[in-house]
Amino acid sequence: MKRKLDLKNGIVHGTPAYIVAVMTLLVLLVLSILTAVTIGSVDLSVSDVYGVILYKLFGIGDPDVFGAGAMSDIVWFIRLPRIMLATAVGMGLAVAGVVMQAIVKNPIADPYILGISSGASLGATAAIFLGVGAVFGSNSIGICAFIGAFCISLLVQMTANIGGRANSIRLLLAGTALSSVCSAFSNFIVYIGGDRDGIQTVTFWLMGSLAGAKWENIAVILPCVVVVTLFFCSQYRILNMMLLGDDVSITLGTDLHRYRQVYLLVSALVIGFAVYSAGIIGFVGLIIPHVVRMFFGTDHKKMVPITALCGSIFLIWADVACRTIIPKQEVPIGILVSMIGAPCFIYLLVRRSYGFGGERS
């Protein structure tokens, strides 16, 4: 019988299994991008698609064929930005999910748990119905959502710090409370506004979509997400300690309070960007960290990089599925992710008898 590879502690040819996994996933990510870009509603030959990419990136090839025109536009301005946005948003959400789970010490946490999604929704609703943020032009919904998300995460921290230092429980409570306040206000605005187009826009936006991908945005978001991911890769020790709690961490020489605040702000930035460019895509930030944890264990040294790459790959393919699953129609990615993600997650849960660590011996 073949011996099962131990991903948590195993060594492959002298390299720790997780490093091998990271390398493999990096290759898979590149392959995913290159495959996904050939899939779309218009039939383009694979060589033409790569011709455009080669020309745009390195100036190789015939500028008349690959430099301009419908084919070039489809590959370079429609397909590729979406894929790169999926890469960035998937990575950002997955990493933010890991960090949030550590910050609130709770495995059911997701990137939106501390009121960030409700804050973003409130911002978006205000932009759509009240015309708030009209000065930002066509990006006003996204920008207001970003501002909403960011303000709420600041407010949650401030609230949690009133009358004592914030810990994970106080953060959760403050997050839940402020989150319901925001939802109530959004619902109120929608109810009073009562405008059919507005409701449709809000719904579309809340269900998430990568259709708004533009190079200008990606140029900001992708580097930011990558830098944040690398930052959290370097913070694995403190993330690990967060799961042990404040008291134990102090005996191990780390006062978590300050780190929690910094991490929250950094994650809020990434989540805000994700919300700004793709609306609210649920489940990625919850499921990807759990799946990775099932195979690679809780140690954040392994988890952060692997989760980041899995998040990207997952979202790229989820978006491809959105565009192709029903011909002539695009399924909102948020819906698709939950529809496919949730059953897969439950299957894994049952198969691997993964207890979130919730079981005690």
Q: Which residues bind another protein (CB under 8 A)?
A: 6, 8-9, 40-42, 69-71, 73-74, 77-79, 105-107, 131, 137-138, 140, 194-197, 201, 204, 209, 211-212, 234-235, 237-238, 240-241, 243-244, 246-248, 250-255, 293, 297-299, 301, 323, 328-330, 355-361
Nearer residue to another protein within complex by CB, 151 or 285:
285
Of 320, 300, 265, residue with least CA distance to 35: 320
Nearer residue to another protein within complex by CB, 40 or 61:
40
Helix (H) or strand (E) holding 15: strand 15-16
The torsion defined by the Cα of 290, 296, 301 and 304, in degrees rounded to 10, comes to: -40
CB of 219 to another protein, least distance (A): 17
Question: What is the secondary structure of 256-294 as a DSSP string?
Answer: HHHHHHHHHHHHHHHHHHHHHHH----SHHHHHHHHHHH
CB of 144 to another protein, least distance (A): 14
The rounded radius of gyration (Å) of the Cα atoms in the chain is 21
Nearer residue to another protein within complex by CB, 30 or 255:
255
Quick check: 50 and 61 in contact, CB under 8 A?
no
Nearer residue to another protein within complex by CB, 61 or 193:
193
Nearer residue to another protein within complex by CB, 180 or 195:
195
CB of 79 to another protein, least distance (A): 7
Nearer residue to another protein within complex by CB, 5 or 27:
5
Tokens found for residue 180: 């319901």
CB of 155 to another protein, least distance (A): 26
Nearer residue to another protein within complex by CB, 37 or 151:
37
CB of 172 to another protein, least distance (A): 13
CB of 33 to another protein, least distance (A): 17
Question: One-letter amino acid identity for 287?
Answer: I
Residue whose structure tokens are 């991490």: 263
Of 361, 219, 240, 227, residue with least CA distance to 300: 240
The CA distances from residue 50 to 83, 85, 169, in Å, are 15, 19, 51
* Cα–Cα distance, 193 to 204 (Å, whole number): 17
Question: What is the secondary structure of 88-149 as a DSSP string?
Answer: HHHHHHHHHHHHHHHHTT-TT--TTTTTHHHHHHHHHHHHHHH-TTGGGGGGHHHHHHHHHH
Residues 6+ apart with CB under 8 A from 155: 115, 119, 178
Nearer residue to another protein within complex by CB, 32 or 140:
140
Nearer residue to another protein within complex by CB, 8 or 176:
8
Tokens found for residue 134: 């009209």
CB of 202 to another protein, least distance (A): 12
CB of 102 to another protein, least distance (A): 9
CB of 239 to another protein, least distance (A): 11
Sign of CA dihedral 217, 151, 338, 110: positive
